[in-house]
Chains A and B, each alone.
Chain A
Amino acid sequence: MAAEATQSVPPETPTARRSRRPASVYGLVGRYGVLAALVITFVVFCLLRPETFPTGDNLKTLLAQMAPVAIVAFGLTVVLVMGDFDLSIVGIIGLSSAVIVSLMSKSDVAWPLALIIGVLLAIAMGVLNGGLIAGIGASSFIITLAAGQVFSGVELEITGGQTIFDNIPTAFLNIATTNILGLSSAVWIMVAVFVIIYLLLNLTQLGRYMYAIGGNQEAARLSGISVKRIRTLGFIITALCSMVAAVILSSRAGAYSNEIGTSFFLPTYAAVFLGAAVLKPGTFNLGGTLIGALFLEVISNGLTLMSLSNAVVLIVQGAILAGAVLLATLQRRAA
């Protein structure tokens, strides 16, 4: 009933007499539940497929596979921390890949220059999103949904929907496929992006401001924080991460295809929301996002090794996202 839904009571907490709260079982489950689920899932796959799952090669493949999804999820964590959404990531990945690959393949542009143009393009897309959302005050949900559509349209205009694979420099192909200290370079790129964004969110002044904006935008503004600029920066960071993922995907495939990045929507959001249910429950946090991305990849890898179809993987991933959001909501309520 509506009357009850709007019923709220101003909290009056007896803080002065509040003693240190004992670590409850519920708190522990909340904090480490997703992590425990990850470990259990891992063990189950080890038992079910002892020859193929827990091998060094498979685990390396698993990490390399998760890299692009994780990188986009890291970027998304930044905008979600500030209470915004970015639904244009698929469009950004597609357009970045189309532009970078076409420049090298069709216009013979040197690969470093193509990458620089890709970076500038990503920044432009982030500024466009951020300007309309933070600057003018439009809803991030609708604007990024619309912008993603526009980016995909431009992508289609550039490529005509054709796959582009010839005349791509070997150096570009090596970006995501070189082996460094036993691991794919894509994994190292993921590690680097993780470290940068982790430092940003957790140790810098800017990161504190980002969490403040997410907590209470008006109070943040009245504390002298440039809310518009920092929110715009969030969209730029997400766009850059999407562009980096696009480079890894194109480099690994040695091609641009019009399906690039299209499957990224669900797993990236699922990783971030799973992450919000772990470590610091109820809060988007980068460590959580990493665990979330790893969890999803373990499931997808394990189910594939058990010869289950892609359809099953999608169903399981979707169910996990819903479960993660429920878990985060329940924790928020309990907190």
Chain B
Amino acid sequence: MSEPLLRVRDLRKEYDGVVAVDDASFELYGGEIVGLVGKNGAGKSTVIKALAGAISPDAGEVWLDGEPFAVTSPHHALDHGLAFMFQELELIPRMTVAENVMLGAHLPRRLGPFMSWRGMYEQAAQVLAELDDSIDPRGPVDALSVAQQRLVMIARALHRRARIVVLDEPTTSLTDREITDLHDICRRIRARGACVVYVSHRLGEIFSLTDRVIVMRDGHVVEQRATSELTHASLVDVITGGGIAAAREVGRRVTTPAPPADAEPLMRVRDLVRDGVVGPVSFDLRPGEVLGIGGLVGAGRTELLRLLYGADRSSGGSVEVRGRPVALRGPSQAMSAGIALLPEDRRHQGLILDFGVRENTTLASLGRFGSAVPGFPSRTRERAATDELIERLDVVTRDRDQPVRLLSGGNQQKVVIAKWLARDSDVLVFDEPTAGIDIGAKTQIYGIIESLSAAGKAVIVVSSEFNELVSICHRVLVLREGAHVGTLNGAEISEEAIVARCYGDASASV
């Protein structure tokens, strides 16, 4: 192979005496797509942040084009052709697409100091044409879909002629079609001779897209190898260090038996609808059942869950739990009926990030930890309950009062689950429970869902990873554009069957 574009030697970074990255060495070459994989906390983000100039490493050297290179700021990195796209969109909402594409670049001028709008639109249109010609450079960027907004960020990188483009979990919340398009764009960037670094937890796309894989574990680069030399199982083995039999991720099937069809339903939903958004939807949920909700992004899955929980108001229909009607005027009514919601965005909707594990765990059930004086929760009882849940869910935390901000994604998710187990909820509604968490934690969350089912609770799961629904659900209900378009039972559940219903019969072959 030719000279590397970028060479990193012995990169090291400590936070408060904790080693996040240690002796990380790797190379990036032009004209390749490199997958960067590893569990949460393996050090991927730290490496990327160091290359982006967002943090300064404690030790290590970087060469760009064979010359020593020290990044001083994200701006400086971009000037040298290094572009970074993080999960959060870095766009200025009320500005036009063109302004966002050109952000930070030298703007075309006319008549001395005045910038030329026409020049800006032309330059932006030129770059966008390669990505998606339906994006209007003159339109406001916040009118675009999330996928298109990501393309605008990629356009910014292309406009600056970036030679290394780093994409951090770029497919989160994209539909399959949009993911396919994004992959095509990655290949085009590669064809220009640039390098794409693709960070993802989804091993499927690592295999279908990348040429080479860099695996990190516990702060070290543990493997650099051509993708073709790896198998799914061997990659999982390297990521996890071989400790966990997480290869079960795909092949595993439901282990708890489906509840008998004539069992008394725990929850009965009839014609639940929010006008113009989702429904009407009707279903019964039996004790011990795991019900999956399949559908593309925008099909109304999250919206349905929020209706069930009273987080949004329904415009019609009814919900009963144990034969008693639930007035879904707000989360507290749903909670009293035994319904719990694990929201889509655990950091912004599920947790108080500055609170410790204990305070988050007891937040929804504080009234149950009463002491002799009403309204004054007993810390002793809170601690006991928290410790028990930390043990039961295997939450990795320094101690029970560590702020959840500092926990990894998987452990944060377990704390949200703990919050609802502390209430002993009957119907647990999980929205994308494994989004952005590593394979080990995913497996544990499947285990938790399984044990809830075995304990006679009912679980509703929304997931964009259909293989997950196939693995853990007794029944899958598919939504398309807000409408309930199909139900799959037991052996009927397969990825192909879900996908076919998601796209409708016309394009069932997708």
Which residues of A lie under 8 Å from residue B408 when comparing CB positions? 12-16
Q: Does A20 contact B (CB under 8 A)?
A: yes
Among B15, B88, B91, B376, which residue has its beta carbon within 8 angstroms of that of A8?
B88
Binary interface profile of A, 70-90, with partner B (CB < 8 Å = 1, else 0)? 000000000000000000000
Stretch at the interface among B39-47, B133-141, B458-466: B39-47
Which residues of B lie under 8 Å from residue A222 when comparing CB positions? 309, 311, 331, 341, 343, 349-350
Among A4, A10, A223, A224, which residue has its beta carbon within 8 angstroms of that of B75?
A4
Among A12, A17, A212, which residue has its beta carbon within 8 angstroms of that of B44?
A12
Q: Does B73 contact A (CB under 8 A)?
A: yes
Contact call A208/B398, Cβ cutoff below 8 A: no
Which residues of B lie under 8 Å from residue A4 when comparing CB positions? 73-75
Which residues of A lie under 8 Å from residue B103 when comparing CB positions? 2-3
Which residue from chain A places its CB closest to the CB of B17 in the assembled complex? A19
Q: Does B391 contact A (CB under 8 A)?
A: no
Contact call B311/A216, Cβ cutoff below 8 A: no
Among A203, A204, A208, A226, which residue has its beta carbon within 8 angstroms of that of B359?
A208
Contact call B352/A3, Cβ cutoff below 8 A: no
Which residue from chain B places its CB closest to the CB of A215 in the assembled complex? B352
Contact call B348/A3, Cβ cutoff below 8 A: no
Contact call A9/B73, Cβ cutoff below 8 A: no
Binary interface profile of A, 216-250, with partner B (CB < 8 Å = 1, else 0)? 10111111111000000000000000000000000
Q: Does B128 contact A (CB under 8 A)?
A: no
Q: How far is the CA of A90 from the CA of B3 in the complex (A)?
A: 70
Q: Does B246 contact A (CB under 8 A)?
A: no
Contact call A208/B366, Cβ cutoff below 8 A: yes
Among B78, B168, B335, which residue has its beta carbon within 8 angstroms of that of A10?
B168
Q: Does B400 contact A (CB under 8 A)?
A: no
Q: How far is the CA of A215 from the CA of B311 in the complex (A)?
A: 19
Q: Does B288 contact A (CB under 8 A)?
A: no
Among B18, B86, B363, which residue has its beta carbon within 8 angstroms of that of A208?
B363
Interface residues of B in 377-426 (CB under 8 A from A): 377, 396-398, 402, 405-408, 411, 419
Which residue from chain B places its CB closest to the CB of A22 in the assembled complex? B17
Query: A2-B92, A16-B396, A16-B408 given as contacts; is B375 within 8 A of A9 (CB)?
Result: no
Contact call B355/A10, Cβ cutoff below 8 A: no
Q: Does B19 contact A (CB under 8 A)?
A: yes
In whole Å, how far is B303's beta carbon from the nearest beta carbon of chain A? 15
Q: Does B268 contact A (CB under 8 A)?
A: no
In whole Å, how far is B290's beta carbon from the nearest beta carbon of chain A? 22
Which residues of B lie under 8 Å from residue A333 when comparing CB positions? none
Q: How far is the CA of A13 from the CA of B73 in the complex (A)?
A: 21
Contact call A219/B350, Cβ cutoff below 8 A: yes
Q: Does B33 contact A (CB under 8 A)?
A: no
Which residue from chain A places its CB closest to the CB of B336 in the assembled complex? A224
Q: Does A107 contact B (CB under 8 A)?
A: no
Binary interface profile of B, 72-87, with partner A (CB < 8 Å = 1, else 0)? 0111001000000011
Contact call B354/A13, Cβ cutoff below 8 A: no
Contact call B376/A203, Cβ cutoff below 8 A: yes
Q: How far is the CA of A229 from the CA of B309 in the complex (A)?
A: 20
Which residues of A lie under 8 Å from residue B86 when comparing CB positions? 8-10
Among A2, A20, A22, A199, which residue has its beta carbon within 8 angstroms of that of B398?
A20
Contact call B363/A205, Cβ cutoff below 8 A: no
Q: How far is the CA of A292 from the CA of B366 in the complex (A)?
A: 31
Q: Does A266 contact B (CB under 8 A)?
A: no
Query: A4-B73, A226-B332 given as contacts; is B88 within 8 A of A10 (CB)?
Result: yes
In whole Å, how far is A94's beta carbon from the nearest beta carbon of chain B? 33
Q: Does B20 contact A (CB under 8 A)?
A: yes
Which residues of B lie under 8 Å from residue A206 when comparing CB positions? 375
In whole Å, how far is B392's beta carbon from the nearest beta carbon of chain A? 18
Q: Does A307 contact B (CB under 8 A)?
A: no
Contact call B90/A3, Cβ cutoff below 8 A: yes
Which residue from chain A places its CB closest to the CB of B359 in the assembled complex? A208
Contact call A1/B104, Cβ cutoff below 8 A: yes
Contact call B348/A216, Cβ cutoff below 8 A: yes
Contact call B331/A6, Cβ cutoff below 8 A: no
Query: A4-B73, A204-B376, A219-B350 given as contacts; is B406 within 8 A of A13 (CB)?
Result: yes
Q: How far is the CA of A19 from the CA of B219 in the complex (A)?
A: 15
Contact call A15/B376, Cβ cutoff below 8 A: no
Q: Does B353 contact A (CB under 8 A)?
A: yes
Contact call B15/A9, Cβ cutoff below 8 A: no
Q: How far is the CA of A10 from the CA of B41 in the complex (A)?
A: 12
Which residues of A lie under 8 Å from residue B478 when comparing CB positions? none
Among B46, B104, B352, which residue has its beta carbon within 8 angstroms of that of A220?
B352
Q: Does B367 contact A (CB under 8 A)?
A: yes
Contact call B311/A15, Cβ cutoff below 8 A: no
Q: Does B49 contact A (CB under 8 A)?
A: yes
Interface residues of A in 193-217 (CB under 8 A from B): 199, 203-206, 208-209, 211-212, 215-216
Contact call B349/A204, Cβ cutoff below 8 A: no
Q: Does A160 contact B (CB under 8 A)?
A: no
Q: How far is the CA of A222 from the CA of B351 in the complex (A)?
A: 10
Besides the known contacts A1-B104, A7-B74, A21-B16, 18 further A-B residue pairs in the complex with CB atoms under 8 A apart: A2-B92, A2-B104, A4-B74, A10-B88, A12-B41, A13-B41, A14-B15, A199-B376, A206-B375, A211-B359, A212-B352, A215-B354, A219-B350, A222-B309, A222-B331, A224-B331, A224-B332, A224-B335
Chain A residues within 8 Å of B, Cβ to Cβ: 1-4, 6-22, 199, 203-206, 208-209, 211-212, 215-216, 218-226, 283
- Give 12 CB contacts A-B under 8 Å: A3-B74, A9-B86, A11-B45, A11-B405, A12-B41, A12-B44, A13-B408, A15-B408, A203-B376, A208-B366, A211-B355, A212-B359
> When A and B form their complex, which 3 residue pairs have the shortest distance between CB atoms, in order from nearest?
A12-B45, A215-B352, A3-B104
